[in-house]
Structures are given as C-alpha cells and as structure tokens.
C-alpha cells in the first residue's frame, strides 16, 4: 500500500470514528429519500443496520487487511453486510434496492471525509479507497441477498411438497394418500418418509 493510500485509509477511519452518528444518520436519510427499499424496512431497522455497518467499517479499516480483501476477510464487516442483505431478503425488499442501499453509504462517508480534509489529492485517494471498499460490499450484499432468496424458495418448495402429499392414517397399517397430479420421484419420497 502506498503512503497516500495509507494516509487516506487513516483519514477515512478517523472520519468514521469522529462522525459515526452523523454518517449513520445521513446514510439512513439517503435510503429514505431515494426510496429504493419501499416500505419493507423501517427507519428503526435502517438505523440499527447503519450503526452496525459503520462500526464494522471502522473496525475493518483499523485492521491490517488490504482494502481489496477487507469485505471478504474481515469477519465483522462481512457479517454486517450479510445480515443486512438477509434481513432485507426475508422482508421482501428488492435486490437492487438492497445493494444500492449499501452503495449509498459512499456518499455519506465521503461527505464526512470531505469535512475532515481540504487536500484535493488526499480526498481523491480517499474517494477511490471508499469506492473500492463499498463496491465490494455492494457486490457481497447482492450475492448474499440472492442466496438468501434462493434458500427461502427452496424451503417454501419443500413445505408445499409436504402439504401437497398428505398421508392420512385410517387404521393400523392402513394409510390413505390423496393425490392430485402425478406421483413423481420427489412426491414418492415424501410419501415414503411420511
């Protein structure tokens, strides 16, 4: 890492520590103003997510992990982004809105960094660093969201399969299996398990 990048990283970390509440408030406001989430996420939930993500970013930037690998390898940061995405997937928020919400943090964070420095070169280097960091977080957010939705769909499919193939005990050793449609391998397995 170059000395300019190291200085920019310290500046971003300093801005996060000094203005954590302002950054979190601004991020929540950006999400509410731009309406990417619809009504799926409350303002209280947004604030909790903001506090968690800002704290995780601060912790990550204070570590020795390179920015390119920070989101992937810093456990607290990865967990904060993943939990945000999974909560929104369960709430039915759109995937694009979820990843954009993470990217809106760029604006809030860069405004704080700009208040901390007037040096154009340092501000530019900080902006590049913030972009690399939060672009990676946005990609992880989208990936986690998609995986979460796929798991929800798989679980719902299993539940529907179980409901669509009921096994009713009539007498001892006598079962009734009302079937509508074809008895394929998956339904046969559900019947045998039940």
pLDDT tens readout for residues 119-164: 888 889 888 989 988 888 888 888 888 888 888 888 888 887 777 6
Q: Which domain holds residue 174?
A: 158-193
Q: Which residue has the higher pLDDT, 136 or 37?
A: 136
Instruction: Let me know whether 48 and 126 are in one domain.
Output: yes
Instruction: Let me know whether 124 and 34 are in one domain.
Output: yes
Instruction: Let me know whether 82 and 149 are in one domain.
Output: yes
Kind of pairing between the strands at 174-176 and 168-171: antiparallel
Instruction: Let me know whether 89 and 177 are in one domain.
Output: no
Q: How confident is the model at residue 22 (pLDDT cuts 50, 70, 90)?
A: very high
Cα(95)–Cα(150) distance, integer angstroms: 12
CB 81 within 8 A of CB 58: no
Instruction: Let me know whether 33 and 106 are in one domain.
Output: yes
Helix axes 43-62, 3-18, angle to 10 degrees: 140
Instruction: Let me know whether 106 and 186 are in one domain.
Output: no
Instruction: Let me know whether 15 and 95 are in one domain.
Output: yes
User: How close are the terminal C-alpha atoms of the chain, in Å?
Assistant: 60
Instruction: Let me know whether 66 and 142 are in one domain.
Output: yes
Q: Which residue has the higher pLDDT, 2 or 172?
A: 172
Instruction: Let me know whether 146 and 178 are in one domain.
Output: no
Count structural domains, the chain: 2
Instruction: Let me know whether 180 and 152 are in one domain.
Output: no
Q: Would you state the pLDDT for residue 26? A: 93
């Amino acid at each position: 890492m170059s000395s300019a990048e190291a200085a920019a990283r310290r500046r971003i970390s300093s801005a996060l520590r000094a203005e954590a509440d302002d950054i979190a408030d601004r991020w929540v406001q950006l999400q509410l103003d731009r309406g990417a989430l619809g009504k799926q996420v409350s303002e209280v939930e947004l604030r909790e997510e903001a506090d968690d993500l800002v704290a995780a970013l601060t912790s990550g930037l204070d570590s020795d992990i390179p920015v390119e690998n920070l989101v992937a390898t810093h456990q607290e940061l990865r967990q904060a982004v993943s939990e945000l995405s999974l909560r929104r997937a369960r709430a039915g928020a759109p995937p694009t809105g979820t990843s954009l919400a993470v990217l809106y943090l760029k604006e809030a964070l860069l405004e704080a960094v700009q208040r901390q420095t007037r040096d154009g070169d340092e501000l530019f280097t900080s902006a590049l660093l913030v972009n690399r960091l939060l672009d990676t977080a946005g990609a992880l957010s989208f990936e986690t969201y998609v995986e979460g939705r796929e798991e929800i769909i798989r679980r719902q499919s299993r539940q529907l399969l179980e409901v669509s193939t009921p096994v009713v005990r009539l007498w001892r050793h006598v079962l009734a299996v009302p079937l509508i449609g074809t008895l394929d391998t998956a339904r046969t397995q559900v019947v045998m398990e039940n």
